[in-house]
Structure 1
């Protein structure tokens, strides 16, 4: 396993720790035997994000679809893992700033 693949797998593990209800579904979807489900689901999520003007469908589907697609397409692994890292850093910075503004430690 290359350094890039390990980095990508670590991001999956971090997401599973951050969002515990998704731990079980993500572990199942990452298995190789789930390719027939994972690939069409990823494409449906990406296509659904294009219909973001509808109530339930939205832009939240695009990162999730790309994440699932990156499991099968090695070309997407590095940019997706970098995007996850950037999003986590921005969220931490925003949360720290928000807490400091409210006077909480």
Structure 2
């Protein structure tokens, strides 16, 4: 094997893909977890100004990058949502 084949490529920086939006995340795992937990906690205070309940799903999406259990639930929700939308589109046709 040549040296080019033996080189390890650096991992791509972590990111979230939300529709057409691509959001970079910190490389540090503990910082990503901290950001996700803070989003969820502050999202629970959604009745206050500035903060909102929108922060809870964003925090869970950030946490899904590092935790398989959250990732599985997010994926199940995405599949359910896609099937639901597809069923509605077929019913309206």
> What root-mean-square deviation, in Å, do the aligned CA atoms of Structure 1 and Structure 2 show?
2.7
Number of residue pairs matched by the alignment: 77
**Separation in 2 of the partners of 1:38 and 1:46?**
12
Structure 2: state its 5+ residue gaps.
1-15
Whose strand fraction is larger, Structure 1's or Structure 2's? Answer: 2
Q: Give the drift of 1:38.
A: 1.0
Which structure carries more relative contact order (alpha carbon 8 Å, separation 6+)? 1
Q: TM-score, normalised by structure 2?
A: 0.62
Whose helix fraction is larger, Structure 1's or Structure 2's? Answer: 1
**Separation in 2 of the partners of 1:41 and 1:47?**
10
Distance verdict in 2 for CA 1:50–1:35, change over 3 Å: same
